[in-house]
Amino acid sequence: MTSIILLEPENSGNVGAVARVMKNFGFKELILVNPKCKIDEECRRRAKNAQEILAGAKILKKIPIVNTLIGTTSELGTDYNIPRSPITSEQLTKLDLKGTVGLLFGRESYGLSNEEINKCDFVVTIPTSKEYPALNLSHSVAIILYELNKNKENIVSHIESMTVSERKQMNKMFKQILSKLKFATKEKKQTQIVVWKKILGKIFLSKREAYAVMGLFKKIIGKIK
C-alpha cells in the first residue's frame, strides 16, 4: 500500500488536483498532515471524479509510521548534506518497494524542512531546470506516480517484507556496533550514524533477509564487547 502524504498543504485547489492525479494512476490513500486549508468547494471542483479520495482522506497531526518513508525535494544537497542527497524519480521505480510506503510531499511555500527530511528513509527529486526547479505540488505528485505506475507489477510481491519494528531493531543494533568503534571526533561518528541510517533505509529486505542481517550484527556485537 502506497499512501500520498501532504504535509501542511496550503492551497485547497492543489489538494483537489492531487486527488485527481491519484485516481488517474490508481492510488487511493490520501493523508493530510496538519493541513492549512480545508476540503472546500474549490478542492472538490479540482478533484473532478476523484471525490471518493477526498471523502476518504485521513487528517493527521503528525507524519504516520510506514515501512518506507520517501521524502520529495527540489532543493538538492551536496556530499556534505547527506540527508538531501536524493535519487531521481526514475531511480525510484527500480527499487523493490514492499510493505507500507509513504510518499511525503512538503508545503507549497517551502517544501520539507531538514528535520522532516531526516525522518525519511531517503529522498527523491524530479530532474528539472536549475533556473526554476520547483514544481507545482500536483505536478510533482503526477510525475512520481506516473513513474511508479510504469512498474506497478514489480512493486507487489508475495514475499513478506520486514516490518517497521524490525527496521528499527536493525538500526539499533548497528548503532551498538558504531558505539564500540573509535572515531577521531564526535562529528565524524555522527556522520557515520546518518550515512548508515540512509544506507539501511534504502535497503528493502524481506523478513528472512532482515533476520539474517540482524544475526550477523549480533555476532559482531558479541565479538567487539
Q: Grid coordinates representing 100?
A: 507500507
CATH class of domain segment(s) 2-155: alpha beta
For the segment 7-62, what is each residue's pLDDT rounded down to a tens digit? 999 999 999 999 999 999 999 999 999 999 999 999 999 999 999 999 999 999 99
Indicate the domain borders of the chain. Answer: 2-155, 164-223
Question: Whole-number mean pLDDT of the chain?
Answer: 86
Residue 96 has pLDDT above 50, yes or no: yes
What's the distance, Cα to Cα, between the start and end of the chain in Å?
41
Does residue 75 contact residue 68 with C-beta atoms inside 8 Å? no
In terms of phi and psi (left: phi > 0; alpha: psi -120 to 50; beta: otherwise), the region of 191 is alpha
For the segment 121-168, what is each residue's pLDDT rounded down to a tens digit? 888 888 778 888 778 999 999 999 998 887 555 444 566 778 888 888
